[in-house]
């Protein structure tokens, strides 16, 4: 019997780290790994097109036995029945003609009990998830503080960010890598940014002052203990989600597929260091210190 797969429902937006569900399919991928898909999961998968936040790790269990999930990934099955995982998915997230899923790659082969139709318990490694959530929130706050700290360097309007500041982030960010309690962002400071009206020379000459300004702003935000949350537009992995944070300057809303803290009170501090060793490449390293 061919059971049709439906889009995976996800519960991580509300902060869930565990849940029960039914196995929809178990596939052995071309690379040899076994990937499990369930109807509803607490696992946050790494995005296959913008892999900023790593996927959750954890366990799938039933009747006292369990298997390890290495790192949850995006998966998709085409209307023709082609199953693809992660970077092997040939289309953009949410594309028509594909059903969008969360894949749970196993550390090893699937045991006999882990088969289509089985009822299972899913649990995410919660301390790691919490660290990644802090890292992701810190990453967004650092980018907003960066935009504010560079606002006077624009000769033309580059468009506004989530707090109304000139959007350096959108113009220059080329990669964002989130880890537990921090992130590393790369910004391209090339000709096109200069042509867009950004004063790269003054920026380079005042780098240390900019870093001080960003860190002062971040300290203020952490001190505010502002609420932070993920707002989903629907229940499945491909429904749009955004991060909302009620900062003193106003509520910032940023489209975001990741996980976040519930409050900035979860931090003791967030700070950045700016590196311009390569004058064409700004590297911003963000470090969060969690509250005990």
- Using the minimum distance from each CB to Zn ion, give the nearer residue, 27 or 239: 239
Q: Residues near 157 by Cβ (< 8 Å), separated by ≥ 6?
A: 166, 197
The nearest distance, CB 139 to Zn ion, in angstroms, is 7
Of 254, 217, 126, 103, the closest CA to residue 180 belongs to 126
The nearest distance, CB 97 to Zn ion, in angstroms, is 27
The nearest distance, CB 255 to Zn ion, in angstroms, is 8
Give the CB-nearest residue to Zn ion.
256
- Using the minimum distance from each CB to Zn ion, give the nearer residue, 256 or 261: 256
- Using the minimum distance from each CB to Zn ion, give the nearer residue, 160 or 212: 160
- Using the minimum distance from each CB to Zn ion, give the nearer residue, 150 or 256: 256
- Using the minimum distance from each CB to Zn ion, give the nearer residue, 51 or 105: 51
The nearest distance, CB 174 to Zn ion, in angstroms, is 15
Token reading at 138:
């810190």
The residue written with tokens 């998968």 in the block is 45
Strands 73-78 and 98-105: antiparallel
The nearest distance, CB 140 to Zn ion, in angstroms, is 6
- Strand segments (E) across 31-172: 34-38, 40-41, 58-62, 65-69, 73-78, 83-85, 98-105, 119-124
- Using the minimum distance from each CB to Zn ion, give the nearer residue, 123 or 176: 176
Contact in structure between 215 and 273 (CB atoms under 8 Å)? no
CA 172, CA 200: separation in Å to the nearest integer? Answer: 12
Torsional sign, CA 140, 291, 223, 150: negative
The nearest distance, CB 169 to Zn ion, in angstroms, is 11
Strand partners, 213: none
- The contact set with Zn ion (CB under 5 A) reads 256, 258
């Amino acid at each position: 019997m061919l059971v049709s797969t439906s889009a995976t429902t996800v519960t991580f937006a509300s902060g869930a780290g565990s849940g029960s569900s039914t196995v929809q399919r178990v596939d052995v991928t071309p690379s040899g790994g076994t990937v499990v898909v369930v109807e509803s999961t607490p696992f946050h998968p790494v995005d296959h097109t913008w892999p900023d936040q790593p996927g959750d790790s954890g366990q799938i269990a039933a009747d006292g036995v369990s298997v390890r999930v290495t790192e949850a990934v995006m998966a998709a099955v085409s209307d023709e029945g082609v199953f693809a995982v992660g970077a092997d998915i040939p289309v953009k997230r949410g594309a028509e003609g594909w059903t969008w899923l969360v894949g749970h790659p196993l550390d090893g082969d699937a045991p006999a009990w882990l088969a289509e139709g089985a009822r299972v318990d899913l649990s995410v490694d919660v301390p790691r998830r919490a660290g990644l959530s802090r890292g992701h929130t810190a990453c967004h706050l650092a980018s907003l503080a960066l935009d504010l700290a560079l606002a006077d360097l624009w000769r033309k309007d580059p468009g506004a960010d989530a707090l109304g500041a000139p959007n350096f982030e959108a113009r220059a960010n080329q990669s964002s890598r989130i880890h537990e309690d921090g992130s590393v962002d790369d910004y391209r400071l090339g000709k096109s940014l200069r042509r867009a009206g950004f004063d790269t020379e003054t920026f380079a000459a005042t780098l240390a002052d900019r870093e001080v300004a960003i860190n002062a702003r971040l300290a203020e935000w952490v001190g505010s203990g502002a609420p932070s949350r993920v707002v989903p537009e629907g229940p499945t992995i491909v429904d749009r989600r955004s991060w909302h944070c009620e900062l003193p300057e106003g509520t910032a809303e940023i489209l975001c597929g990741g996980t976040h803290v519930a409050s900035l009170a979860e931090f003791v501090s967030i700070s950045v260091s700016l590196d311009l060793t390569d004058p064409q490449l700004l590297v911003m390293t963000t470090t969060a210190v969690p509250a005990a």
